[in-house]
Amino acid sequence: MTELLDRHRRVMGDGAPLFYDEPLQLVKGEGVWLEGADGRRYLDLYNNVPCVGHANPQVVAKLAEQAATLNVHSRYLHDGVVDYVERLVGLHHDGIESAILGCSGTEATEMALTLIRGTTGKRGIICTDATYHGNSSLVGRLSWLPVGTERSGIKSISTPQLFRPLDAGLSEVALLQLHLDELTGTIASFADEGGFAGLMLCSILANEGLPNPPAGWFAEAVGLVHDAGGLVIADEVQAGFARSGSWWGYETSGFVPDVVCMGKPMGNGFPLSAMASSHDLITEFRQRQRYFNTFASSPLQAVAGDAVIDEITNRGLVGQVREVGDRLKASLTALQQDHPRMGDVRGTGLFIGIDWVYPESNNPDVDGAGQVVEALKSRGMLLGKAGQHGNVLKIRPPLVFDHDNAATFLSVFRDIVADAHS
Ligand SMILES: Cc1ncc(COP(=O)(O)O)c(C=O)c1O
């Protein structure tokens, strides 16, 4: 292991990110289970990309069959590709009619930002102050952008949240208004700075740490953007494909976007992403940008994507995710009553965050959260931590995670939380 780690650092560069004090070497995955090089099995509560399970036999078989038949780039007609994109946009609301495939979430979000700027002829983009939408030179400018600063026509608004509210003295209704006023002011600030193009939002505020905004925030914010002539991009790269217990995070959060970005779980690990919108906006984008992507819109991508939709549909995973997630969250919320380090339990479907805090102050306890993650690993459970302060335990297993898996996790988690409070 040490030798492999040394070689990893030498050849991949020092600083290439690896989880855990002692990085984990994996050799095999099946369903919700991962196997280490030491022969240990780990329950996977972290990985959202293999959404229909590690090494899913249906996806593997379809990929193998297609790879042995044909794989070409997008400048030829292929019925499988057209069938897949039709099926994909058909899963969305009526305004989503056409899509452009890519290979990463970053490509999808980059296309979306370029689309809204091109369509509106305006430059100003708004995001939250604790977000991540990808790593290109354009999209990377949205990452962790402090309120009150500006990066090339991009500004942020405070992440709306009830647990650590912007102003603790306000009622929920007043807090909602404070956030909406901030958005209105930020939109207005673009008036002399290239105008306002739109808002990009993760539909469930995943990288922000899954905060609960004041009730109605999503729909009201979207209304303000539209009133100002802007467009709304829903980043569904984490939120989409049943993760929140609906097909799309924007359904769970109650708003209707103009543009949608998808990625991560879309191909169960085969690189596949998409940016989707109305037929008119996609057509205009294509005419302006002449977008081409060597590996995208291939027959191989189409079979991977199609097999994922088949699995989610045939196995009833949207409903399963909702049920398993609801019950798991209820158990964690019950556990929280006696364990004040679990400051807040939130999220929907199979994406649950536990805000790990110092009990007296409710301040984020990043080190404590890290210790829980390490302790869980030593007991064969893998999860991560994330959020605005890096202290939110992130439970985000493959969608096929079931009630038995949840019970297995809870039995270990209860011990670890008890130890942390002893
Ligand atoms: C919400 C969100 N959008 C976009 C991306 C970028 O996706 P990718 O890493 O595939 O470029 C990420 C990656 O973590 C993400 O979390």
Question: Does the pLDDT of residue 195 top 80, yes or no?
Answer: yes
pLDDT tens-digit map of 215-258? 999 999 999 999 999 999 999 999 999 999 999 999 999 999 99
Inside any domain, residue 343: no
Q: CATH no. for residue 81?
A: 3.40.640.10
What is the model's pTM? 0.98
Give the separation between CA 223 and CA 344, rounded to whole angstroms. 29
Inside any domain, residue 395: no
Inside any domain, residue 75: yes
Nearest CA, atom 7, ligand 1: 105
pLDDT tens-digit map of 159-190? 999 999 999 999 999 999 999 999 999 999 99
Report how far ligand 1's centroid is from the alpha carbon of 133 (Å): 5
Inside any domain, residue 361: no
Closest CA to 221 of 193, 185, 171: 185
Pocket of ligand 1 contains residue 239 by CB under 6 Å: no
- pLDDT at site 16: 87
Inside any domain, residue 151: yes
Q: Is 376 helix (H, G, I), strand (E, B) or coil?
A: helix
- pLDDT at site 1: 66
- pLDDT at site 15: 87
Report how far ligand 1's centroid is from the alpha carbon of 335 (Å): 32
Question: Does the pLDDT of residue 7 top 90, yes or no?
Answer: yes
89: containing domain = 59-314
Pocket of ligand 1 contains residue 134 by CB under 6 Å: yes
- pLDDT at site 111: 98
Six token digits for residue 258: 């103009």
Give the separation between CA 81 and CA 300, rounded to whole angstroms. 9
Mean residue pLDDT of the chain comes to: 97
Pocket of ligand 1 contains residue 105 by CB under 6 Å: yes
Question: Does the pLDDT of residue 311 top 70, yes or no?
Answer: yes
- pLDDT at site 107: 98
Report how far ligand 1's centroid is from the alpha carbon of 103 (Å): 11
- pLDDT at site 244: 98
Q: Which of 238, 244, 248, 301 to mutate to test the pocket of ligand 1 (most atoms within 8 A of CB)?
A: 238
Inside any domain, residue 35: no
Q: What percent of the chain lies above the pLDDT cut of 70?
A: 100
Question: Quick one: average pLDDT of 56-73?
Answer: 97
How many domains does one find in the chain?
Answer: 1
Q: Which of 111, 142, 205, 264 to mutate to test the pocket of ligand 1 (most atoms within 8 A of CB)?
A: 264
Any bridge partners for residue 128, and if so which? 157
Pocket of ligand 1 contains residue 132 by CB under 6 Å: yes
307 touches 268 (CB < 8 A): yes
For residue 264, the ligand 1 atom closest to its alpha carbon is 10
**pLDDT-derived band at 155, boundaries 50, 70, 90:** very high
pLDDT tens-digit map of 362-377? 999 999 999 999 999 9
Inside any domain, residue 376: no
Nearest CA, atom 4, ligand 1: 133
Question: Does the pLDDT of residue 422 top 90, yes or no?
Answer: no
Exposed (0-12), middle (13-18) or buried (19+): which is 107, by Cβ within 10 Å?
buried
H or E segment to which residue 233 belongs: strand 231-235
- Amino acid at position 21, single letter: D
Six token digits for residue 324: 């398993």
Report how far ligand 1's centroid is from the alpha carbon of 171 (Å): 34
Is the sign of the CA dihedral 130, 133, 135, 139 positive or negative?
Answer: negative
Question: Does the pLDDT of residue 305 top 90, yes or no?
Answer: yes
Inside any domain, residue 327: no
Pocket of ligand 1 contains residue 238 by CB under 6 Å: yes
Pocket of ligand 1 contains residue 235 by CB under 6 Å: yes
Report how far ligand 1's centroid is from the alpha carbon of 235 (Å): 9
